[in-house]
Amino acid sequence: MGKERFYGLNHLRALAIILVLLYHYRMFEHPAWVDTIGWVGWTGVDLFFVLSGFLISGQLFREIKEHRKIKLGTFMAKRFFRIIPPYAFTLFLYFCIPFFREREHLQPLWKFISFTQNYGLDVFDYGTFSHAWSLCIEEQFYLLLPLVLLFLLRIKAIEHIKYIIPVLIVVSIVLRYFSWTEYVLPDINSDDFWRAWYMKIYYPTHTRLDGLAIGVLIGYLFNFSLKFRAAVDRYGNLLLLTGLMAIGFSLWFCKDQVSENTSFFGFTFVAVSYGILLLGSISKSSFLSKKKYYLTSQLAALSYSIYLSHKGIIHIAQWLIEKENISASGTIVLFICFTGCIIAGLFYRFVIEKPSDQAKNRILNPKT
């Protein structure tokens, strides 16, 4: 089976980066309406996690299905050339050009290089390039998932993944409960409450397994269960509607992002909701999957580079605007800043990502 084109996923990836941009824009000068709708943007990262879990596991599961093995070196090389060059360039901007920094202080370089920045991240004192925390989780996922699958292949138990995933989700919920009671609850009435919540619940990998796990479970069932795939292909629009309703419930449930209920179950509800929406977007009967749209496909393709650079770009754009004695809190300035983010994404694509992709192809396919 060749690589499938899930056009519906472009819409979800475009939605995810828009959500993230709106959420993070609140830390800059912004119009009042951004606060009204931007608070839901924190779920954009969860949507990215679900998408990554599905797409990356899908690649590996297809290889297992066809060849009963995983070419670990090839997989890691593809991930390296896709992720590292744009990330390394962004690190260069942050560490060598202080003007690019949207906040005052950076964590040590070794934490970014080792992809462990999400542990012990004090976002209030070291908030510069703090959004790299989610990339850390994804990189850890890219390393561990193929190793786990190789182990299951070796013991001839790959089908057990459908039991392991629910266990991981329960473990993540239990660990969030432990972190809440041990680290967050004691500070609930102090100025350190938010700091503790972010450090112990929001950023660590072990408390944020839900989205990736849901994506992997869908990837497994989609590749190995004919009944599951047939049902998905048959009920695409119904799945979209159900996913939207589930997202509405999840956002209502998570209205207070740092509440006890949200901390325990909110991340799971959001991940499951986006998982249902993902199923609808890949269904052959879904209106989202039938056609490729230029706008969402381009925004989806730029989403990684925009994610990396957007805070620095917004900071610079607003600094230049305010230097002309123009208020940066208007809606027009927001569109100027977002346009700047897209331009930066195009720069990354043509100057960094395309040459990196060409180098990858020369190394992995030397004969062509």
Residues 180, 244: Cα–Cα separation, whole Å = 29
Please give the C-alpha separations between residue 152 and each of 61, 68, 160, 164, 184, in angstroms, as whole numbers: 12, 11, 8, 11, 36
Q: What is the pLDDT of residue 368?
A: 60
According to the model, what pLDDT value does residue 78 have?
95
Q: Which of 334, 319, 260 is nearest to 24 (CA)?
A: 334
pLDDT at 223: 95
- What's the pLDDT at 1? 39
Contacts of 360 (CB under 8 A, 6+ apart): 77, 78, 81, 82
Strand blocks (E) in 12-93: none
Q: Which residues of the chain have pLDDT under 50?
A: 1-2
Q: What is the pTM of this model?
A: 0.96
Query: Quick one: CA dihedral 52, 169, 279, 227, positive or negative?
Result: positive
> What single letter denotes the amino acid at residue 244?
L
pLDDT tens digits for range 315-348: 999 999 999 999 999 999 999 999 999 999 999 9
